[in-house]
Each structure stands twice: as C-alpha cells, then as structure tokens.
C-alpha cells in the first residue's frame, strides 16, 4: 500500500482560493510541496497540471530528476476544473492530447484525466458518455505511443455504473479509473459499493473523506466538504481491503479540496493526519 499526496490539497497555497476562503499567509512552489511530502515520508505524489509553473521540456526533465531523487512514484493529473467538459470542448481535448507526452517526461506511468465535473451533472448523461468514449479512444492512441495509462476520475459527475460504462466503452487495457472516494458521495453513490464495481479498473486514487458542511446549501458543490481521512463518511478500510483483493499497485493519494468548517485553514495538519490514518490501515491489512 503506497501512500501519496495530491498537491491539490494545497490549492490555496498555489493561488486557487475559493469564494469564502482566506488567502494563505504563504505561497508554495512545486519544490515546497515536494519537500513537505518528503518530510512526511510518503511514497509518491500526484501533481496537478494546473499548478505547473512551466511545460517547457527542460523544466519537466528537471522535475523528473527531483522526483527520482526523492524516490517518489508519481501521477500526472490533468483536467481541473472540468476536464473535457462532458466531451464537448475540442480545445480541451487537444490540450489533453498534448499533455500526455508531459506525463511521460516527468516519468509518470499513469495520467489522471477528467471527463467532466459537477458543473454539468444535471445535463443528460448518456450523450456525455458517448462523446467521452469517442474522445478517449482517440487519446489512447497517443497514450499507447507514450507508454502512459489514462485513468479517468469520477469528478463529481458520474456514478460507478456510468464510470463502468465509459471504461467498458473505451475497452482498452491501459484505460481505467482514478477512484475518488469522496466524489462518489457527492453524486450520492456509496464508495464501498463503487469500489467493488471498479476496483479491477482502478489505476490511481484520490483518498478523500467528506462530511456534511452545515454552512453550505444542499446544491453547493462543497455541501460534502473535506475532512482528514477517517473523520468523515467514507469507509476507508473497506476501500483499501477491496483494492488489496485485486492487487492494486498504485498510489493511495490523499486529496483535500474545500475543507469542512471544522478544519478551515489547517491543510498541513489534515494531510498529516490522513497519512497517519492510511499508515494504520496499511499496518492492519497489508
């Protein structure tokens, strides 16, 4: 069980501050994040492309060298905030295709991709799914040439059955799922049931725990807000045990987005507590 951190946990520190959030007292660089992850002794990192300071080949090669020096497994994460916008944005599709070689340059075997987001969740899903299958089939030709796997995240858009429909529609051994534990709850799907359906297709994870936010409205995307792992509604032990049963080899990557009011302003503590929780699970079942 390899424990990792997605740098979206620190989106405020990288300049993305949501409405209603305080601006941080400090800003982070990619190096700051990597040093934090190294101090926690994790096994890997998931790096959001939206926080890359450059896509120049020289920078990506330099970043790979740093990741190698730290001994980090890595995932290249593309698609924030709305991925391919349910398969309707050609410009974003071209950007996805252009991003696949970047994953290769930093030494990532897996690239997280998003098909949509909660912004489009109330539109009919079957036309979206049909469009995304077509686009991902084309993208897989580039991914194959680069030796990169594409793993689609449930990005507050599709439930487990719909994710399964997309994976089976693309029908490629190197196309699978980034399993986000908290985002299934946000579409009112049970992560414990979802992981049983998708475990064998899972190539990456976002280990996100959530709890009802009493300060949010029911239709706010952050109605289910982030807590440290083990402090919310997700049965982390069930998820880990099910992935173990299929010999999942990827990262258990902690992710935090909109912190619950009980945890506002405490991202570093939340991540540290989540790492501790995952280590306890690892000790118990691995």
> What's residue 262's pLDDT?
95
Do residues 224 and 271 lie in contact, with contact meaning Cβ atoms separated by under 8 Å? no
- From CA 200, how far away is CA 65, in angstroms rounded? 31
Mean pLDDT value across the chain: 98
What pLDDT sits at residue 7?
Answer: 98
**Whole-number pLDDT of residue 67:** 98
> Which pLDDT belongs to residue 195?
98
**What beta strand segments (E) does the chain contain?**
2-6, 44-48, 73-77, 110-114, 149-153, 175-180, 202-206, 209-212, 224-227, 251-254
Which phi-psi region, left, alpha or beta, contains residue 41 (left: φ > 0; alpha: ψ -120 to 50)?
A: left
Model confidence pLDDT, tens digit, residues 3-15: 999 999 999 999 9
Task: Tell me the average pLDDT across 11-27.
Answer: 96
Q: Is the pLDDT score of 60 beyond 90?
A: yes
Helix, strand or coil, per DSSP, at residue 202: strand
Residue pair 208/180 in contact by the 8 Å Cβ criterion: yes
Q: Identify whether the C-beta of residue 50 lies closer than 8 Å to the C-beta of residue 12.
A: no
pLDDT at 208 over 90: yes
Give the pLDDT of residue 134: 98
C-alpha span between 114 and 84 (Å, rounded)? 7
Q: Which domains does the chain have, with CATH numbers?
A: 2-285 (3.20.20.150)
- Distance, CA of 226 to CA of 9 (rounded, Å): 10
The angle formed by the CA atoms of residues 215, 220 and 223, to the nearest 5 degrees, is 55
Q: Provide the pLDDT for residue 168.
A: 98
pTM for the model stands at 0.98
- CA torsion, points 39, 42, 48, 54, in degrees to nearest 10? 50
Under 8 Å between Cβ of 259 and 270: yes
């Amino acid at each position: 069980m390899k424990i990792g951190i997605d740098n979206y946990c620190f989106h405020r520190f990288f300049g993305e501050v949501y409405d209603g959030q305080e601006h941080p007292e400090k800003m982070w660089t990619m190096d700051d994040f990597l040093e934090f992850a190294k101090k926690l002794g994790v096994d890997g990192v998931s790096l959001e492309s939206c926080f890359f300071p450059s896509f120049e080949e020289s920078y990506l090669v330099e970043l790979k060298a740093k990741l190698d020096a730290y001994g980090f497994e890595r995932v290249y994460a593309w698609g924030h905030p709305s991925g391919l916008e349910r398969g309707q944005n050609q410009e974003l599709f071209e950007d996805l295709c252009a991003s696949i070689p970047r994953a290769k340059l930093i030494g990532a075997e897996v690239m997280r991709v998003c098909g949509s987001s909660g912004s489009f969740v109330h539109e009919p899903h079957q036309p979206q799914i049909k469009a995304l299958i077509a686009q991902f089939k084309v993208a897989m030709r580039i991914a194959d040439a680069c030796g990169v796997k594409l793993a689609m995240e449930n990005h507050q858009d599709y439930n487990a059955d719909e994710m399964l429909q997309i994976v089976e529609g693309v029908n490629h051994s190197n196309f699978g799922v980034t399993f986000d534990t908290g985002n299934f709850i946000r579409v009112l799907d049970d992560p414990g049931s979802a992981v049983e359906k998708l475990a064998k297709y899972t190539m990456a994870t976002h280990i996100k725990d959530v709890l009802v936010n009493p300060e949010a409205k029911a239709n706010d995307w952050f109605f289910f807000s982030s807590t440290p792992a083990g402090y919310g509604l997700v049965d982390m032990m069930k998820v880990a045990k099910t992935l173990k049963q299929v010999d999942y080899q990827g990262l258990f990557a902690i992710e935090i987005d909109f912190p619950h009011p009980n945890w506002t302003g405490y991202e570093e503590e939340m991540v540290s507590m989540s790492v501790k929780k995952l280590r306890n699970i690892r000790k118990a079942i691995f």
